[in-house]
Amino acid sequence: MTKLKPLIYACALTALSGGMTYADNIFLDVGTSFNAVDADSRTDDFEKLLFSVIATSTYTIDDNIFGGDDTILDTGDKVVDTGTSNIGSLETSSATALVGPALEGFNNDWGLDIDYTISGYSVVGPGGIPDELAAVFTSGTASIFFDDFMGTDTKVLELDLTSSMIEPTNVLLTGIVDYSWCEPACSTFVKEFFNFSDPIAGENAFYDIWALDIVPPISIMWRLDTNIDEASVVAPEPIFEGSTTWTRETELSPTIQFVPEPGTYGAMLLGLGALLFSQRRRMTYAFTDKR
């Protein structure tokens, strides 16, 4: 069993860092029917939320986590990113945006807004040039609001950031869905708004899955891809705002996907099973050769 531990850990890391390839389909239930095609109040199934945003990064050079130079902007300086936008489209796994009645009034009778603040520290950009800085984000939240187009925004989801990764063509943010912000009096509307198409432990609604009293608990993981190339990660260069502050604005076109934690375990177990089967075959061939 001891020899299998490195194998298990490797499969787990591969499943997690592989970017939740097997994101689950979801749907939104707005509580009111906005089309004449059917009487229900839900969108069709989709996989991703898409939006565009101008991300503002603020660097503070006198707050270096590595104890570096506090007089210049370099690696280890604190970075805070903020942004506000509206969700532009709902996209299926085949990269097709929902349209017409499938949207249940989305972007016509109601909309979704996103607001986020995340923090971390500066690192050398993907190009390896010290003067070109990117950021590793370690904490923060993003909130999604239902906009009734009549002046009222209702928070329906919170995304807590747990980690980030800089890739050659992407900055990847990951974390978990949280509802503790609305407890103990979450409205039915909030509880039933985000749903998985296929039930998880007998539940479809994100809230009901989050609230399950089971051991181990089921976490709903999310992934945000910023969908930018290497040049966009490190450019334009931060602008000096005076004193110890620098800022930079970057245009992003993010997507958000969701998957319950068992999906990650499933990917891990599939990988583990394949590796164990391969190892068993090698052992069988070796035994046959020896005979």
Residue 93 CB contacts under 8 Å (≥ 6 apart), including other chains: 23, 25, 47
* Tokens coding 170: 């992407």
For the chain, the distance separating the N- and C-terminal CA atoms, rounded to the nearest angstrom, is 26
Q: Which amino acid is at 218?
A: I
Of 37 and 128, the structure prediction assigns the larger pLDDT to 37
Asked if residues 57 and 81 have their Cβ atoms less than 8 Å apart, the reply is yes
Confidence of residue 169 (pLDDT cuts 50, 70, 90): low
SS3 at position 153: strand
The reported pLDDT for the residue numbered 37 is: 78
The reported pLDDT for the residue numbered 70 is: 66
Q: Which of 18-22, 147-151, 273-277 has the highest mean pLDDT?
A: 147-151
Helices and strands, number each (H, E), in the chain: 5, 14
**Beta strand 48-51 pairing with 255-260:** antiparallel
The average confidence (pLDDT) of the chain is 80
The reported pLDDT for the residue numbered 273 is: 52
The reported pLDDT for the residue numbered 204 is: 96
DSSP element (H, E) containing 117? strand 111-124
The reported pLDDT for the residue numbered 132 is: 65
pTM for the full predicted model? 0.79
- Quick check: 149 pLDDT over 70? yes
Classify the C-alpha dihedral 48-16-164-214 as positive or negative: positive
Of 191 and 291, the structure prediction assigns the larger pLDDT to 191
CA separation for the pair 101, 114 (Å, rounded)? 23
CA separation for the pair 65, 79 (Å, rounded)? 11
Q: What is the mean pLDDT of residues 33-38?
A: 81
The reported pLDDT for the residue numbered 216 is: 82
Confidence of residue 134 (pLDDT cuts 50, 70, 90): confident
